[in-house]
Amino acid sequence: MNSIVLMAEVLTDPEIRRTPDNQSSITSFLAQFAGGRNEEAPYRIKVVGWGNLADEIMEKYHKGDQVVVEGRLRLDTVDRGTYKEKRTELVAQRVHGLGNTGSTASISSTPPATNAPARSPRATSPSPAPAPYVPVASPAADAPDYDDIPF
């Protein structure tokens, strides 16, 4: 399964374009996230959103915003004549703003699909009250201790 959740800073204002048949919007922006170690430079990746997600990214997110992006990684190879360049991009399925975006709601969308069935809204029922806290009895003294098993 190809899935990623990334917390990053929006480095460029999102840019929107349309598919050739004008049926779908595509938005992209450059995001930056910290390296695995303190001495490593931050990493940059292109984030792409489709359809309704693309329109909402354009409305809600701007350069400097902190976001959490859920999606999948895609690797493209571009032939440059004497060498092949590999480009990685994150195809977003949801984007969540953190603090300074003015919105913490998630945006949800998927790339356009052909003949996708319409979804009906679900009715929500109130969640039941949480059960009261009941302490759990400690294990019996003669029970085996499995904590020291090496893996």
Q: Is the dihedral of CA 99, 105, 111, 112 positive or negative?
A: negative
Q: How far apart are CA 35 and CA 33, in angstroms?
A: 7
User: Which residues, given as ranges, of the chain have pLDDT below 50?
Assistant: 101-124
Report pLDDT for 131. Answer: 56
Instruction: Look up residue 122 and give its amino acid.
Output: R
Whether the CB-CB separation of 89 and 74 falls below 8 Å is answered with: yes
Tally of residues, the chain: 151
Report pLDDT for 47. Answer: 93
Report pLDDT for 57. Answer: 92
Q: How far apart are CA 101 and CA 16, in angstroms?
A: 19
Report pLDDT for 78. Answer: 87
Strands of the chain, DSSP E: 4-10, 15-18, 25-33, 43-50, 66-79, 84-98, 106-108
76 bridge partner residues? 87
Task: Return phi, psi of residue 59, to 5°.
Answer: -75, -40
Report pLDDT for 38. Answer: 85
The superfamily (CATH) of domain 4-108 is: Nucleic acid-binding proteins (2.40.50.140)
Report pLDDT for 36. Answer: 81
Report pLDDT for 117. Answer: 45
Query: Structure pTM?
Result: 0.62
Q: How far apart are CA 127 and CA 24, in angstroms?
A: 37
Report pLDDT for 109. Answer: 46
Report pLDDT for 28. Answer: 93
* Structure tokens, 9: 């800073």
Report pLDDT for 67. Answer: 93
